[in-house]
Chain A
Amino acid sequence: MSGSSTATRKRHSRLPMIAQAGPVSVWMILFVTIPMLFIIFISFMTRGTFGGVEYVPTLKSYETLADLVYFNVILKSLRVALVTTVVCLLLGYPFAYYIARKPADVASRLIMLLMIPFWTNSLMRLNAWMLLFQTNGPVNKALLALGLVQKPVTFVYTDGLVLLGLITNFLPFAVLPMYSSIEKLQTAMLEASADLGARPSVTFLRVTLPLTFPGIFSAIILTFIPALGTYTITDMLGGGKVLYIGNIIKNQFGTIRNWPLGAALSVLLLLVTALLIFLYSRFAKIEDMEVL
């Protein structure tokens, strides 16, 4: 793959890079690069007295970041994102496997079921979770009726509910790329492995898992990064009582109106994410990534 792309690059070397990539690069520059550079720029500016940005260079925002509080918030956010990702993989892989082994028409119907929640507004879905789990909501009533608890359990504004919200929200993003990978896995590979003496568990570890790894890798990227940066889910289900990096960034740009600090936090999040992807790509070839 790399060989052919080098050849192509050589052949068109007289054209400027921008003309080759064309509209895509224009789009990327307008909507990704420029805003990103702007965020980085702002993170080095001074907070205005009434909340705006004064264009006076300073490192004050980054000095604030050195506070242990932010470090702990990042650590906590990473942990929650990690748990979300692991649970999504553990739940998503068997589900994706199940769908992928069904005939195409059944599979597309099952995928549809997975996608239906996305046709509703995400705020409505989050509110539905709140209603289900509130102190006198259906879940507590059921638990009381069954005698499993003596008094209503507090679910709302806990880490547990946040986690539930994150997992249910990101599960489809984990299932889809894994489904696509597993679907491509030929049964002939599994038969060949069995034929050579491997029992099903060995076949799974030595053939199925490595061959569907690109899908797993994409699933990790597609759940971990958004779970790390999310703020609507944590805001609503965590009620602002539990702090995550996403909420803090949102608050700096919103109610607190400290744009430079918000920007600095964004840069930090960006660096953490980039570092993780870099570490990960050391173990997995990026080109193996499965993107739907």
Chain B
Amino acid sequence: MWTSGEILEGEFLTLLGPSGCGKTTTLRMIAGFEDASSGTITVQGERIEDKEPYQRDVNTVFQNYSLFPHLTVFDNVAYGPSIRKVPKAEIRQRVTEMLHLVQMDGYEKRKPDALSGGQKQRVAIARALINNPRVLLLDEPLGALDLKLRKQMQIELKRLQRKLGITFVYVTHDQEEAMTMSDRIAVMRGGVILQIGAPMEIYDRPNCRFVADFIGESNIIDGTVRRVDGKRIEVETADGIVLTQGEGFREGEKVCVSIRPEYICLSDTPREGFTLHARIKDFIYMGTVIKTSLDLPHGQELKLSRFEADPTLHEGDERYIWWDTEKSVLIHMEGGAV
């Protein structure tokens, strides 16, 4: 496993990737539960890779909360400060503050068993934050909550992070969650960070096929660069020539073109520039959007999404498709062989 990346002070960084990509392992290495086989981990200039977990100035919110079942909510939150021998009166005050911060006032005497999933989550966050960590690590903390509570907690967590200014490193496999909350996202696969950047940057400018495919939905068409004209690039695909844009590509190079479903345009007549021929395969109603599948002559299937249904469109209809060159992304083939 090879990971390299820098976390900025006070940012909300998300490690995003499919299960088994090494995001939790990375988090556990920062926390100290897993040994890094080589390399260093530095927090604010201080090397911590040889320190024991209890010596590190980072705290974790665990996937299954891991609240101590034999302790009350108060004692759970007070655990960290009580170990550092903080005076009792100060602990009492800090715990009260923390429980107020996560909106759990009045639950001090409850045992974790008597809390709902969302409440346990809040206590777990308070228990970690009370220690004023330099970095707060969150390992899929919302994974066990239902969708609605999850959305609510996403917003709350984000606000909490803004308010406290503590660096959050958040692990999730849910790309929507990553998009909503993060300042920056690091997309991981096979223990390697493929791309790190702001959500919008990752979405609009994926640097490899995997990122394009994993973040949101994308149509990926393989082809060969036919002509390079400054930033304008002509790519020859099995279904015809398409125009796209990019930098640092050579003629004859194998590439793939990524185009988001919402950017594909349909028309009855061919258009200047480039057009591909497509046949409407089927429609899927998804609530907010309608997804349309298109077949290209050589068997490639493209997805197209719209907010409204087009009443003139029927299954089996033939159309011309095109897109704004600016909206498509050209990706080197070697960077993204899945």
The reply to whether chain A is a binding partner of chain B is yes
List chain A positions with a Cβ less than 8 A from chain B: 186, 188-189, 191-199, 202, 206-207, 210-211
- Given known pairs A191-B33, A211-B69, the reply for A197 and B80 (CB within 8 Å) is yes
* A195: nearest chain-B partner, CB-CB: B60
Taken together as a complex, chains A and B put the C-alpha atoms of A198 and B84 apart, in Å, by 9
12 A-B contact pairs sorted by A residue (CB < 8 Å): A186-B66, A189-B66, A191-B33, A193-B79, A194-B32, A194-B52, A194-B53, A195-B59, A196-B79, A196-B127, A197-B84, A211-B68
- Given known pairs A188-B64, A202-B83, the reply for A194 and B54 (CB within 8 Å) is yes
Chain B residue contacts of A195, Cβ below 8 A:
31, 53-54, 58-60, 128
Total A-B residue contacts, Cβ distance less than 8 Å: 56
Taken together as a complex, chains A and B put the C-alpha atoms of A194 and B33 apart, in Å, by 9
CB interface residues, B 45-100, toward A, < 8 Å: 52-54, 58-60, 62, 64, 66-70, 79-80, 83-84
Most buried by B among A188, A192, A194, A202: A192
Contact check: which of B33, B70, B83 meets A196 at CB < 8 Å?
Answer: B83
Q: What's the nearest-Cβ distance from chain A to residue B149, in Å? A: 22
Chain A residue contacts of B128, Cβ below 8 A:
195-196
Which 8 pairs, one residue from A and one from B, show the smallest C-beta to C-beta distance?
A: A192-B66, A196-B80, A194-B53, A188-B66, A210-B70, A194-B54, A195-B60, A197-B83
Taken together as a complex, chains A and B put the C-alpha atoms of A210 and B131 apart, in Å, by 23
Most buried by B among A193, A195, A211: A195
Q: What's the nearest-Cβ distance from chain B to residue A101, in Å? A: 15
Taken together as a complex, chains A and B put the C-alpha atoms of A211 and B84 apart, in Å, by 22
* A194: nearest chain-B partner, CB-CB: B53
List chain B positions with a Cβ less than 8 A from chain A: 31-33, 52-54, 58-60, 62, 64, 66-70, 79-80, 83-84, 127-128, 131
Q: What's the nearest-Cβ distance from chain B to residue A181, in Å? A: 12
Whether B66 lies near A211 (C-beta < 8 A) is: no
Chain A residue contacts of B127, Cβ below 8 A:
196
Taken together as a complex, chains A and B put the C-alpha atoms of A270 and B164 apart, in Å, by 62
Chain A residue contacts of B32, Cβ below 8 A:
194
Taken together as a complex, chains A and B put the C-alpha atoms of A192 and B66 apart, in Å, by 7
Contact check: which of A186, A196, A202, A207 meets B59 at CB < 8 Å?
Answer: A196
* A210: nearest chain-B partner, CB-CB: B70
Chain A residue contacts of B67, Cβ below 8 A:
192
Chain B residue contacts of A210, Cβ below 8 A:
70
Whether A189 lies near B54 (C-beta < 8 A) is: no
- Given known pairs A198-B83, A210-B70, the reply for A192 and B62 (CB within 8 Å) is yes
Chain B residue contacts of A189, Cβ below 8 A:
66, 68
Taken together as a complex, chains A and B put the C-alpha atoms of A191 and B59 apart, in Å, by 11
Q: What's the nearest-Cβ distance from chain A to residue B115, in Å? A: 16
Chain B residue contacts of A186, Cβ below 8 A:
66
Taken together as a complex, chains A and B put the C-alpha atoms of A97 and B60 apart, in Å, by 26
Whether B68 lies near A192 (C-beta < 8 A) is: yes
Q: What's the nearest-Cβ distance from chain A to residue B232, in Å? A: 53
Chain B residue contacts of A207, Cβ below 8 A:
68
- Given known pairs A188-B64, A191-B33, A193-B79, the reply for A198 and B70 (CB within 8 Å) is no
Contact check: which of B53, B80, B131 meets A191 at CB < 8 Å?
Answer: B53
A189-B68, A192-B62 provided; 17 other pairs, C-beta below 8 A? A188-B64, A191-B66, A192-B67, A195-B53, A195-B54, A195-B59, A196-B79, A196-B83, A197-B54, A197-B83, A198-B54, A199-B52, A199-B54, A202-B83, A207-B68, A211-B68, A211-B69
Taken together as a complex, chains A and B put the C-alpha atoms of A210 and B69 apart, in Å, by 10
Chain A residue contacts of B54, Cβ below 8 A:
194-199
* A202: nearest chain-B partner, CB-CB: B83
Most buried by A among B53, B67, B84, B131: B53
- Given known pairs A191-B33, A195-B60, A198-B83, the reply for A211 and B70 (CB within 8 Å) is yes
Chain B residue contacts of A191, Cβ below 8 A:
31, 33, 53, 60, 62, 66
Taken together as a complex, chains A and B put the C-alpha atoms of A133 and B60 apart, in Å, by 56
Most buried by A among B31, B68, B69: B68
Chain A residue contacts of B33, Cβ below 8 A:
191, 194
Chain B residue contacts of A197, Cβ below 8 A:
54, 80, 83-84, 131
Chain A residue contacts of B58, Cβ below 8 A:
195
Chain A residue contacts of B80, Cβ below 8 A:
196-197
Chain A residue contacts of B79, Cβ below 8 A:
193, 196, 198, 206
Q: What's the nearest-Cβ distance from chain A to residue B211, in Å? A: 31
Chain B residue contacts of A206, Cβ below 8 A:
79
Taken together as a complex, chains A and B put the C-alpha atoms of A55 and B58 apart, in Å, by 77
Taken together as a complex, chains A and B put the C-alpha atoms of A118 and B277 apart, in Å, by 81
Q: What's the nearest-Cβ distance from chain B to residue A212, in Å? A: 10
* A203: nearest chain-B partner, CB-CB: B54
Contact check: which of A188, A196, A202 meets B131 at CB < 8 Å?
Answer: A196
